[in-house]
Amino acid sequence: MDIRYRIQGGVPLKGDVTISGSKNAALPLIAASVLCEGETVLTNVPFLRDIKVMLQILDYLGAETSFQEGTVRIRTQNLQSKPIPADFVSKLRGSIVLLGPLLARFGVVEMCYPGGCVLGKRPVEAHIRALTQLGAEDMSSDEVLHLQGTLKPGHVILPEFSVTATENAILAAALVPGESRIEMAACEPHVQAVEKFMCAMGAEVEGIGTHTVTVRGRKQLTCSEYRVPSDYLEAGALTIATLVTSGKVRLHDVEYDHLMNFLDVLKRMGAEWKYDAVEKVLFVDGEISSLNAAEVRTNIFPGFPTDLQAPLGVAMTQATGVSRLFERLFEGRMAYLYELENMGAHVEILNSHQALVIGPTTLRGRTVSSHDIRAGAAMVLAALCAEGETVINNVRYIERGYDHLDDKLRSLGAKIEKVELEDPKEVAAKVTQNVVQESVKESTKVTSE
């Protein structure tokens, strides 16, 4: 099924909306359930395909899972470690965070490379290095990730500030009696959620939210209940949606500490917002905001989030002056700018990491594509402030990262429609199948006569 969004732009967003739980936090928290025998309960879990795939993997390994109204229950008494096939992990790159917990509990973990074999070993180097520094033996091949051995406390020095490698190291160390030290640790909000969850399960973690983390693990952890923190990336996207449509929106369940750099950039650009720390409500007033150009460089937390770079690029098309974007962390993150150019934006891509955005420009509705989760969100924001109708293809990307985004935007007054079309390949397959079935029927009829 091919899913698209049809969006009629030019409507100011107004009203209240509650931010969903963070997918990037929920996935490693689900993986953490592997570390104990019993029932883990996670609340405020977003309803996303990636979450369902992660639970399917645990079901395959023998767990019992349920997912109802934002609450996930995972029972792991009968869990076992066995090779996880590509059918599962190719759908979910985030499944990599199962490496540490499975290895720590069972002494062996084997899976195809997350995201498919085309990724090769290079993207998982940080994970392998972290776990081998805790005593694991790397027996991986070009097709399969395979680690085994009894883990022991160690000094882990990560080669980069990798979020998921940090999570794997923390999760593994939590089930190893003794003290482990992790250097070059990432400290994004979803990493902090994992660290706090380990404390709730009985481990001791020092340095939460810093780049040096000490974990004092235990031989046995206690299953616990934990609330998934709200998604600061969704909050950031909806903040920009409010600004570029000149709307007025109150965002509920927002953690200011997770967005402080992002909000500071917007304030310097001329955005008007207020935060209620008691109620955790962010009020964004796009009616009185007047955006000006800025220079922004993405960075590891607490720097400007790379996952909000594409949404910010849309805001820059509506800002006065020449804005400069520096993407420090990932190549390929600026492909969405070509789609914005198609909509009328004035963009100069200097190289794979730098671009200029000259504004303000009037965006016009076009048919555009969603290249990845965050680029897809940017296309939605661009469509909301564009003249006329925009059709966005590959919506599956967007819906992997944003929980009922179209419903939330409609509740704020946006004219957005989800259109489901049959995939041409699926249609052709059905036609072929029907032809074959009719031929068989005719042959049977002739034979009987």
Rounded Cα–Cα distance for residues 5 and 102 (Å): 39
Rounded Cα–Cα distance for residues 294 and 303 (Å): 15
Cβ contact 9:363 at 8 Å: yes
Rounded Cα–Cα distance for residues 285 and 155 (Å): 48
pLDDT in tens, the chain (449 residues): 688 999 999 999 999 999 999 999 999 999 999 999 999 999 999 999 999 999 999 999 999 999 999 999 999 999 999 999 988 888 788 899 999 999 999 999 999 988 733 333 447 999 999 999 999 999 999 889 999 999 999 999 999 999 999 999 999 999 999 999 999 999 999 999 999 999 999 999 999 999 999 999 999 999 999 999 999 999 999 999 999 999 999 999 999 999 999 999 999 999 999 999 999 999 999 999 999 999 999 999 999 999 999 999 999 999 999 999 999 888 778 889 999 999 999 999 999 899 999 999 999 999 998 888 999 999 999 999 999 999 999 888 898 899 999 999 999 999 999 998 875 555 455 555 665 566 656 555 555 55
Cβ contact 282:251 at 8 Å: yes
Count of helices and strands (H, E) across the chain: 15, 23
3-state secondary structure of 233: helix
The two three-digit tokens of residue 232, written as one number: 């600061």
What is the per-residue pLDDT for 92? Answer: 86
- Amino acid letter, residue 336: Y
Inter-axis angle of helices 309-317 and 232-244, nearest 10: 10
Q: What residues does 391 pair with on adjacent strands?
A: 6, 367
Report pLDDT digits (tens) over 299-334.
999 999 999 999 999 999 999 999 999 998 887 788
From the list 230, 283, 274, 233, the residue with the least C-alpha distance to 255 is 230
- Complete DSSP assignment for 130-150: HHHTTT-EE---SSEEEEES-
Residues with Cβ < 8 Å from 442, sequence gap 6 or more?
A: none
Q: In this structure, which topology does domain 2-20+230-424 adopt according to CATH? A: UDP-n-acetylglucosamine1-carboxyvinyl-transferase; Chain (3.65.10)
Domains 2-20+230-424 and 23-227 share a fold: yes
Rounded Cα–Cα distance for residues 418 and 406 (Å): 7
Catalytic residue positions, numbered = 117
Cβ contact 325:355 at 8 Å: yes
Domain residues of the chain, as ranges? 2-20+230-424, 23-227
- For domain 23-227, is the CATH number 3.30.413.10? no
Rounded Cα–Cα distance for residues 359 and 290 (Å): 12
- Amino acid letter, residue 74: I
Cβ contact 376:7 at 8 Å: no
State residue 207 phi and psi, 5-degree precision: 85, 25
